[in-house]
Amino acid sequence: GAVVSQHPSWVICKSGTSVKIECRSLDFQATTMFWYRQFPKQSLMLMATSNEGSKATYEQGVEKDKFLINHASLTLSTLTVTSAHPEDSSFYICSASGQGTTGGISPLHFGNGTRLTVT
Amino acid sequence: AQSVTQLGSHVSVSEGALVLLRCNYSSSVPPYLFWYVQYPNQGLQLLLKYTSAATLVKGINGFEAEFKKSETSFHLTKPSAHMSDAAEYFCAVNSGGYQKVTFGTGTKLQVIP
Protein backbone atom coordinates (compact mmCIF):
# COMPACT_ATOMS: atom_id res chain seq x y z
CA GLY A 1 0.00 0.00 0.00
CA ALA A 2 0.88 3.64 -0.25
CA VAL A 3 3.47 4.81 2.27
CA VAL A 4 4.01 8.29 3.61
CA SER A 5 7.23 8.99 5.44
CA GLN A 6 7.48 11.91 7.83
CA HIS A 7 10.74 13.15 9.28
CA PRO A 8 11.82 13.83 11.93
CA SER A 9 9.63 11.87 14.31
CA TRP A 10 10.50 14.23 17.11
CA VAL A 11 12.44 17.45 17.49
CA ILE A 12 13.34 19.78 20.33
CA CYS A 13 14.30 23.32 19.49
CA LYS A 14 14.92 26.59 21.25
CA SER A 15 12.47 29.43 21.13
CA GLY A 16 13.11 31.71 18.16
CA THR A 17 14.60 29.06 15.91
CA SER A 18 12.99 27.47 12.86
CA VAL A 19 12.19 23.83 12.32
CA LYS A 20 11.54 22.01 9.05
CA ILE A 21 9.41 18.89 8.84
CA GLU A 22 9.45 16.72 5.72
CA CYS A 23 6.67 14.59 4.33
CA ARG A 24 7.43 12.17 1.52
CA SER A 25 5.23 9.85 -0.47
CA LEU A 26 7.43 6.83 -1.04
CA ASP A 27 5.60 4.82 -3.67
CA PHE A 28 3.12 7.17 -5.25
CA GLN A 29 2.87 10.69 -6.56
CA ALA A 30 1.11 12.94 -4.10
CA THR A 31 -0.67 15.69 -5.96
CA THR A 32 -2.17 16.93 -2.72
CA MET A 33 -0.73 16.94 0.77
CA PHE A 34 -2.38 18.00 3.98
CA TRP A 35 -0.79 19.25 7.19
CA TYR A 36 -2.53 18.74 10.50
CA ARG A 37 -1.81 19.77 14.05
CA GLN A 38 -2.93 17.74 17.00
CA PHE A 39 -2.98 19.01 20.57
CA PRO A 40 -2.88 16.54 23.45
CA LYS A 41 -6.10 14.60 23.80
CA GLN A 42 -7.68 16.49 20.92
CA SER A 43 -8.56 15.81 17.34
CA LEU A 44 -6.62 16.73 14.24
CA MET A 45 -6.89 20.28 13.07
CA LEU A 46 -6.25 20.87 9.39
CA MET A 47 -3.68 23.61 8.99
CA ALA A 48 -3.25 23.77 5.25
CA THR A 49 -3.64 21.98 1.95
CA SER A 50 -0.86 22.02 -0.58
CA ASN A 51 -0.93 21.09 -4.23
CA GLU A 52 2.26 20.35 -6.07
CA GLY A 53 3.66 23.43 -7.73
CA SER A 54 1.24 25.93 -6.27
CA LYS A 55 0.82 27.91 -3.09
CA ALA A 56 -0.69 26.23 -0.09
CA THR A 57 -4.22 26.99 1.02
CA TYR A 58 -4.31 27.78 4.72
CA GLU A 59 -7.22 27.27 7.04
CA GLN A 60 -8.68 30.22 8.85
CA GLY A 61 -6.60 31.23 11.83
CA VAL A 62 -3.38 29.58 10.64
CA GLU A 63 -0.54 32.05 10.13
CA LYS A 64 0.91 31.45 6.70
CA ASP A 65 4.05 33.42 7.49
CA LYS A 66 4.69 31.31 10.53
CA PHE A 67 3.93 27.92 9.03
CA LEU A 68 5.62 27.87 5.65
CA ILE A 69 4.58 25.03 3.38
CA ASN A 70 6.38 24.02 0.24
CA HIS A 71 5.27 21.30 -2.16
CA ALA A 72 7.87 21.53 -4.87
CA SER A 73 7.61 17.97 -6.13
CA LEU A 74 5.05 15.20 -6.36
CA THR A 75 6.75 13.26 -3.58
CA LEU A 76 7.80 15.91 -1.08
CA SER A 77 6.12 18.58 0.99
CA THR A 78 7.76 20.48 3.81
CA LEU A 79 6.38 22.42 6.75
CA THR A 80 8.67 24.99 8.32
CA VAL A 81 7.73 26.42 11.68
CA THR A 82 9.46 29.79 11.74
CA SER A 83 10.53 31.60 14.90
CA ALA A 84 9.10 28.82 17.01
CA HIS A 85 7.61 29.54 20.42
CA PRO A 86 6.58 27.19 23.22
CA GLU A 87 2.93 27.49 22.16
CA ASP A 88 3.90 25.91 18.84
CA SER A 89 4.77 22.71 20.66
CA SER A 90 2.46 20.08 19.26
CA PHE A 91 2.16 16.92 17.19
CA TYR A 92 2.22 17.67 13.48
CA ILE A 93 0.95 15.08 11.00
CA CYS A 94 0.99 15.09 7.23
CA SER A 95 -1.11 13.09 4.84
CA ALA A 96 -1.06 12.65 1.13
CA SER A 97 -3.33 11.64 -1.70
CA GLY A 98 -2.86 11.49 -5.39
CA GLN A 99 -2.10 9.24 -8.28
CA GLY A 100 -1.81 5.62 -7.28
CA THR A 101 -3.77 5.91 -4.07
CA THR A 102 -7.11 4.19 -3.73
CA GLY A 103 -10.30 6.20 -3.64
CA GLY A 104 -8.81 9.63 -4.01
CA ILE A 105 -11.65 11.23 -2.14
CA SER A 106 -9.74 11.65 1.06
CA PRO A 107 -6.24 11.81 2.49
CA LEU A 108 -6.02 8.11 3.19
CA HIS A 109 -2.31 7.88 3.87
CA PHE A 110 -0.75 9.50 6.90
CA GLY A 111 2.79 10.01 8.05
CA ASN A 112 3.68 8.94 11.57
CA GLY A 113 3.79 12.49 12.83
CA THR A 114 6.40 14.81 14.30
CA ARG A 115 6.44 15.71 17.97
CA LEU A 116 7.74 19.29 18.22
CA THR A 117 8.84 20.65 21.58
CA VAL A 118 9.93 24.27 21.79
CA THR A 119 11.85 25.19 24.92
CA ALA B 1 -20.85 22.27 5.87
CA GLN B 2 -19.85 18.99 7.45
CA SER B 3 -19.19 17.88 11.01
CA VAL B 4 -18.71 14.79 13.07
CA THR B 5 -19.67 14.06 16.67
CA GLN B 6 -18.15 11.20 18.58
CA LEU B 7 -20.03 10.36 21.74
CA GLY B 8 -17.76 9.38 24.58
CA SER B 9 -14.16 10.51 24.71
CA HIS B 10 -13.26 7.34 26.64
CA VAL B 11 -14.69 3.86 26.33
CA SER B 12 -13.61 0.88 28.42
CA VAL B 13 -14.44 -2.70 27.57
CA SER B 14 -13.28 -6.05 28.86
CA GLU B 15 -11.16 -8.24 26.65
CA GLY B 16 -13.51 -10.37 24.54
CA ALA B 17 -16.46 -8.00 24.94
CA LEU B 18 -18.23 -6.10 22.20
CA VAL B 19 -16.71 -2.82 21.11
CA LEU B 20 -19.10 -0.03 20.12
CA LEU B 21 -17.78 3.43 19.27
CA ARG B 22 -20.39 5.98 18.29
CA CYS B 23 -20.22 8.51 15.49
CA ASN B 24 -22.87 10.87 14.16
CA TYR B 25 -22.31 13.10 11.20
CA SER B 26 -23.79 16.18 9.65
CA SER B 27 -23.51 16.81 5.95
CA SER B 28 -25.42 18.80 3.37
CA VAL B 29 -24.67 16.22 0.68
CA PRO B 30 -24.24 12.45 0.73
CA PRO B 31 -21.05 11.96 2.68
CA TYR B 32 -18.05 9.73 2.57
CA LEU B 33 -17.32 8.45 6.06
CA PHE B 34 -14.20 6.97 7.60
CA TRP B 35 -12.85 5.47 10.77
CA TYR B 36 -9.18 5.83 11.61
CA VAL B 37 -7.11 4.39 14.44
CA GLN B 38 -4.19 6.15 16.08
CA TYR B 39 -1.65 4.50 18.35
CA PRO B 40 0.43 6.69 20.71
CA ASN B 41 2.80 9.05 18.92
CA GLN B 42 1.86 7.71 15.53
CA GLY B 43 -0.10 8.86 12.54
CA LEU B 44 -3.53 7.63 11.56
CA GLN B 45 -4.34 4.34 9.94
CA LEU B 46 -7.50 3.85 7.94
CA LEU B 47 -9.77 1.16 9.42
CA LEU B 48 -12.61 1.39 6.94
CA LYS B 49 -14.52 3.76 4.71
CA TYR B 50 -18.08 4.20 3.44
CA THR B 51 -18.41 5.51 -0.09
CA SER B 52 -22.11 5.02 -0.88
CA ALA B 53 -21.88 1.37 -1.79
CA ALA B 54 -22.86 -1.22 0.84
CA THR B 55 -24.14 0.30 4.07
CA LEU B 56 -22.33 -2.29 6.18
CA VAL B 57 -18.63 -1.79 5.74
CA LYS B 58 -16.01 -4.25 6.87
CA GLY B 59 -12.55 -3.05 7.71
CA ILE B 60 -9.27 -4.30 9.02
CA ASN B 61 -8.67 -6.02 12.35
CA GLY B 62 -12.24 -7.33 12.54
CA PHE B 63 -13.90 -3.91 12.72
CA GLU B 64 -17.03 -2.97 10.85
CA ALA B 65 -19.36 0.00 10.67
CA GLU B 66 -22.90 0.51 9.48
CA PHE B 67 -24.06 3.63 7.68
CA LYS B 68 -27.55 4.61 8.80
CA LYS B 69 -28.83 7.60 6.88
CA SER B 70 -32.01 7.92 8.93
CA GLU B 71 -29.94 8.21 12.10
CA THR B 72 -27.02 10.06 10.49
CA SER B 73 -24.78 7.57 12.22
CA PHE B 74 -21.74 5.51 11.38
CA HIS B 75 -20.95 3.54 14.53
CA LEU B 76 -17.88 1.32 14.70
CA THR B 77 -18.16 -2.16 16.15
CA LYS B 78 -16.07 -5.23 16.81
CA PRO B 79 -17.59 -8.43 18.26
CA SER B 80 -14.69 -9.27 20.55
CA ALA B 81 -12.15 -6.78 21.88
CA HIS B 82 -8.49 -7.63 21.92
CA MET B 83 -5.82 -5.98 24.02
CA SER B 84 -4.16 -4.71 20.85
CA ASP B 85 -7.31 -2.71 20.03
CA ALA B 86 -6.48 -0.21 22.76
CA ALA B 87 -5.92 3.03 20.87
CA GLU B 88 -7.66 6.24 19.88
CA TYR B 89 -10.29 6.08 17.18
CA PHE B 90 -11.38 8.93 14.96
CA CYS B 91 -14.48 9.17 12.85
CA ALA B 92 -14.20 11.46 9.83
CA VAL B 93 -16.42 12.83 7.09
CA ASN B 94 -15.80 14.17 3.61
CA SER B 95 -18.72 15.81 1.86
CA GLY B 96 -17.03 17.09 -1.23
CA GLY B 97 -14.51 16.41 -3.92
CA TYR B 98 -12.02 18.78 -2.39
CA GLN B 99 -10.72 15.89 -0.32
CA LYS B 100 -10.96 17.92 2.85
CA VAL B 101 -11.73 15.64 5.73
CA THR B 102 -13.24 16.74 9.04
CA PHE B 103 -12.33 14.63 12.05
CA GLY B 104 -14.27 13.98 15.20
CA THR B 105 -12.70 14.60 18.58
CA GLY B 106 -11.72 10.98 18.99
CA THR B 107 -12.60 8.15 21.36
CA LYS B 108 -9.94 6.50 23.42
CA LEU B 109 -10.60 2.78 23.74
CA GLN B 110 -9.29 0.99 26.80
CA VAL B 111 -9.36 -2.81 26.89
CA ILE B 112 -9.34 -4.36 30.33
CA PRO B 113 -7.81 -7.81 30.69
Residue B99 has a pLDDT of: 62
Instruction: Tell me which residue of A78, A67, A68, A80 sits closest to A18, measured CA to CA.
Output: A80
Query: How many Cα neighbours within 13 Å face the side chain of A13?
Result: 24
Judged against a pLDDT cut of 90, whether residue A61 lies above it is answered with: yes
Q: Which residue of B99, B103, B105, B108 to mutate against A (max A Cβ within 10 Å)?
A: B99
Chain B residues with CB under 8 Å of A104 CB are 99
B25-79 per-position pLDDT tens digit: 998 777 889 999 999 878 888 899 888 778 999 999 999 999 999 999 999 999 9
Q: What Rg value do the Cα atoms of chain B yield, rounded?
A: 13
pLDDT, residue A103, reads 46
A5 to chain B: closest CA residue: B43
pLDDT tens digit string along B71-108?
999 999 999 999 999 999 999 988 765 567 888 999 99
B46 near A CB under 8 A: yes
Strands B102-103 and B73-78: unpaired
Residue A29 pLDDT class (50, 70, 90 cuts): confident
Q: What is the pLDDT of residue A104?
A: 47
Per-residue confidence at A48, pLDDT binned at 50, 70, 90?
very high
pLDDT score for B98 = 53
Tell me whether strands A10-13 and A114-118 are parallel, antiparallel or unpaired: parallel
Least confident of A2-6, A87-91, B107-111: A2-6
- Contact A33/A99 with Cβ under 8 angstroms? no
What is the pLDDT at residue A72?
Answer: 82
DSSP secondary-structure letter at A60?
Answer: T
Work out the angle at residue B17's Cα, subtended by the Cα atoms of residues B106 and B89, and round it to the nearest 5 degrees. 15
Residues A77-102 have pLDDT tens digits of: 999 999 999 999 999 999 887 654 44
Parallel, antiparallel, or unpaired: how do β-strands A109-110 and A90-99 relate? antiparallel
pLDDT at position A33 over 70: yes
